[in-house]
Amino acid sequence: MITARYLKELREKAGMSQTELASLANISQAHIAKIETGKVDPRLSTVNAILSVLQKQKPSITCGDIMSKKVISIKPGETVKKAISVMRNLDISQMPVVSGGIIVGSVSEASIVRNMGKNPSYIKVKEIMDAPFPMVSADDSINILPELLNLRHAVIVTKSGKPKGIITKFNLLGIDGIKSRRIS
């Protein structure tokens, strides 16, 4: 889990002052100090900006390199039965819930199992969905992924603010032999 202590340790390990980190991450030094002391809970975008600065020295492998380009999704008004069918047929264990091109939630084996007492033929995905998966830039280093994937089932990869791919723990396996598949 990404904690205030963890972020402070990374900053100190990188040999950076709070002021330097703040400048590079486009955040105030006071905000960095509040995050490191646990006085505020930063937004995911703030954590991503901090991690990008601390872990990225022009990464050799980016999130865009390892993502699955085909993002399989479901609409919130579809039935849970349909979600189960899609997941079984495509051998996936989670997917984003999308409404009007915007990711509004996520559904996974875990969210379905939690609702096993309900009839999947009548229950809508929106009634059991979880929060949307975290989002990262296609240009972000894969170094930010392990912590995010310990918290959530998947990470959505964006380019210019639009979803371009998805990363699960499976995508992190066998990275040593990866060939560059950068997105355009």
Range of the domain at 40: 1-55
Same domain for 49 and 67, yes or no, is: no
Share of the chain above pLDDT 70, in %: 90
Task: Write the CA distances from 99 to 72, 75, 104, 115, integer angstroms.
Answer: 13, 6, 7, 22
Same domain for 118 and 178, yes or no, is: yes
Domain finish residue from 10, 40, 55: 55
168-178 average pLDDT score: 71
Q: Comparing C-alpha atoms, which of 129, 135, 131 is closest to residue 156?
A: 135
Cβ-based neighbour number of residue 65 at 10 Å: 22
Same domain for 50 and 129, yes or no, is: no
Confidence class of residue 141 from pLDDT cuts 50, 70 and 90? confident
Pairing of strands 135-137, 155-159: parallel
pLDDT at site 158: 85
Same domain for 88 and 8, yes or no, is: no
Domain finish residue from 19, 37, 55: 55
The answer, yes or no, to whether residue 165 has pLDDT greater than 60, is yes
What's 40's domain CATH number? 1.10.260.40
Count of structural domains, the chain = 2
Rounded to two decimals, what is the model's pTM? Answer: 0.62
